[in-house]
A and B are shown apart, each in its own frame.
Chain A
């Protein structure tokens, strides 16, 4: 257990509305990540953070923004949700020893 929580765990929203997903960690890790998981694609990196207010884009960042104002919280925002953003969203933290990423429980998002 890496002390990662995600909220909400499930969300249904309508096309065009903004949505914010929250990732919270309790272990003060520097690196945090947002991935999306879709059938046939595995997990793909959306954005990541390497410190407070330090973020960068991943492989599939279009339509998403992130913010990290505190070490423990990493927010993912869908500025105007589209049906193609229906997915399962995972947050992860990176531990240095051992070197690996640990994932939160995921958020299921349905955009109608």
Chain B
């Protein structure tokens, strides 16, 4: 079974509107972290936002927010006021297990959602 599922291969949004990119995850570990990355057409992987499983509040970073619904095992990315520069591939990723001395941060990625922002 896939650990990270992104069900939307492609999404379209009008400039200045908000858009939600879906991500569901599968883990039995009570401690985990969820990440979103952006990959523009130039190819680099850009870290956007992080949510820990024990975080009480949803993470926010500027125009990005993570809608974390633990019981539903979903971690959707919300982009407010879309801009043309937001057109890119977006990846959801998960780290399983607690972060502590000696542990590592291996990530499992979803297959991505291609977002196109229309003018």
Contacts and interface: CB of A to CB of B under 8 A. Distances in A.
Interface centre among B37, B99, B110 (most CB of A within 10 A): B37
A83 to B, nearest CB: 21
B50 to A, nearest CB: 5
Given A42-B111, A96-B99, A99-B50, A58 B43 contact: no
B107 A101 contact: yes
Contacts of B109: 42-44
Interface residues of B, number: 24
A105 B105 contact: no
Contacts of B68: none
A64 to B, nearest CB: 16
A101 B80 CA distance: 24
A27 B99 CA distance: 20
A91 B107 CA distance: 13
Given A42-B109, A99-B99, A106 B104 contact: no
Contact of B45 (A45, A58, A90): A90
13 contacts: A41-B111, A42-B4, A42-B110, A43-B91, A45-B107, A58-B106, A90-B45, A92-B45, A96-B99, A99-B50, A99-B52, A103-B47, A106-B44
